[in-house]
Amino acid sequence: MTAGTNTASTVYQVTGMTCGHCESAVTSELTALPGVTSVQAVAATGQVTVTATAPLDDEAVRAAVDEAGYELTGRV
């Protein structure tokens, strides 16, 4: 029996990331959210791509980014 994989990817704009450490901090906080399967943070563009098993609550994403010390400015 095979299960289908349903994932949703969303790209967010995050301000304040300037280096690899910033990317790691944001990735770590977002990976901890329930349902998140992957996170790709790019400091150069400020974009963070989050893939999850279901669409994420924007406020939960904002809180995780805030916890990392950065600011979520919206979806791309």
Structure tokens at 41: 């943070």
- Predicted local confidence at residue 27, as pLDDT: 98
Q: How confident is the model at residue 74 (pLDDT cuts 50, 70, 90)?
A: very high
pTM score over 0.85: yes
- Render pLDDT for 4-51 as a digit per residue (tens, 0 to 9): 467 889 999 999 999 999 999 999 999 999 999 999 999 999 999 999
User: Which residues lie closer than 8 Å to 55 by C-beta, 6 or more apart?
Assistant: 8, 10
At 38, give phi and psi (nearest 5°).
-160, 155
Q: d(Cα 68, Cα 30) in Å, to the nearest integer? A: 9
- Predicted local confidence at residue 32, as pLDDT: 98
